[in-house]
Structure 1
Amino acid sequence: MKFVVSSTELLSHLQTVSRVISNKNTLPILDHFLFQLSGNGLTITASDLETTLVTSINLENVSEEGVVAVPAKLLTDTLKEFSDQPLTFDVNTDTKAIVINSETGKFTLPGQDGEDFPAIPTVREDKKSVLQTSTETLFSGISKTLFATADDELRAVMNGIFIELTESDVTFVATDAHKLVRYKRMDVKSDGAASFILPKKPAALLKAILAKDSNNVMVEFDDKNAFFTLTNYRMICRLVEGTYPSYASVIPANNPNRLTIDRIELYNALKRVAVFSNQASNLVKLELVGNQLTISAQDLDFSISAYERLNCIYEGDNMQIGFKSTFLIEILSNLSSSDVVLQLSDPSRAGLILPTEKEIDDEDTLMLLMPMMING
Structure 2
Amino acid sequence: MKFSIERAALLKAVGQAQSVVERRNTIPILANILVEAEGDQVRFKATDLDIEVIDSAPAQVERAGGTTVSAQTLHEIVRALPDGALVAIEEDQAQGRINITAGRSRFQLQTLPKEDFPVMASSDYAANFSCPAPVLRRLFDKSRFAISTEETRYYLNGVYLHVAEGEGGRVLRAVATDGHRLARVDADLPEGADDMPGVIVPRKTVGELRKLVDDDEAQIAVSVSETKIRFATPEITLTSKVIDGTFPDYARVIPQANPRTMEVDASDFAAAVRRVAIVSSERSRAVKLSLDEDRLILSVNAPDSGTAEEELAVAYGDEKLEIGFNAKYLEEIAAQVDRENAVFRFNNAGDPTLMQEGGDASAIYVVMPMRV
Q: Tell me the TM-score normalised to structure 2 length.
A: 0.94
Q: Are 1:215 and 1:231, in contact at CA under 8 Å, matched by a contact in 2?
A: no
Q: Is the 8 A contact 1:130 1:221 kept in 2?
A: yes
Matched, 1:211 2:214: yes
Q: Which residue of 2 aligns with 1:65?
A: 64
Cα deviation 1:321-351 (Å, max 9, x = unaligned)? 1111111011111222211110011111110
Is the CA contact 1:337–1:357 (under 8 Å) kept in the aligned structure 2? no
Q: Distance in 1 between matches of 2:248 and 2:345?
A: 23
Q: 1:202 — aligned with what?
A: 205
Q: Which residue of 1 aligns with 2:308?
A: 306
Structure 1 range deviating more: 206-215 or 327-336: 206-215
Determine the structure 2 residue equivalent to 1:19.
19
2:54·2:236 contact (CA, 8 Å) conserved in 1? yes
3-state SS in 2 of match to 1:210? coil
- Alignment counterpart, residue 259 of structure 1, candidates 259, 262, 265: 262
2-structure distance, mates of 1:107, 1:284: 56
Q: Any conservation in 1 of the 2:171–2:187 contact (CA below 8 Å)? A: yes
Return the match for 1:329 from 328, 331, 354: 331
Distance 2:349 2:129 in 1: 41
Counterpart in 1 of 2:51?
51
Partners of 1:247 and 1:118 lie apart in 2 by 37
Change (3 A) 1:268 1:331: same
Counterpart amino acid of residue 73 in structure 2: L
The residue number in structure 2 matching 1:9 is: 9
Give the Cα separation in 1 of the matches to 2:108 and 2:151: 43
**Contact between 1:144 and 1:181, CA under 8 Å: does it hold in 2?**
yes
| 1: CA distance, partners of 2:97 / 2:196 | 50
How far has the Cα of 1:193 moved from its partner?
5.1
Partner of 2:241: 238
Written as runs of structure 1 = structure 2, the 5 A alignment for 1:218-367 is 218-302=221-305, 304-356=306-358, 364-367=362-365
Cα distance in 1, alignment partners of residues 56 and 216 from structure 2: 14
> Structure 2: any 5+ residue segments left out of the alignment?
none
Superposed displacement of residue 101, structure 1: 2.6
For the residue of structure 1 that corresponds to 2:271, the secondary structure is: helix
Greater shift, 270-279 or 44-53, is seen at: 270-279
**Does the aligned pair in 1 maintain the 2:197–2:224 contact within 8 Å?**
no
The CA deviation at 1:221 is: 2.0
**Letter of the structure 2 residue corresponding to residue 169 of structure 1:** V
Question: For residue 41 of structure 2, what is the amino acid of its counterpart?
Answer: G
Normalising by structure 1, what TM-score? Answer: 0.93
Q: How many residues of Structure 1 are paired with residues of Structure 2 in the alignment?
A: 366
Residues 1:94 and 1:225: Cα distance change in structure 2 (over 3 Å): farther
Contact between 1:287 and 1:295, CA under 8 Å: does it hold in 2? yes
Report deviation, 1:320.
0.9
Aligned-partner SS, 2:304: coil
Cα shift readout 1:281-312 (whole Å, capped 9, x = no counterpart): 1111111111111111101234x212122111
Residue 119 (1) aligns with residue 122 (2): no
Partner of 2:101: 101
Change in CA separation of 1:209 and 1:186 when aligned onto 2, cut-off 3 Å: closer
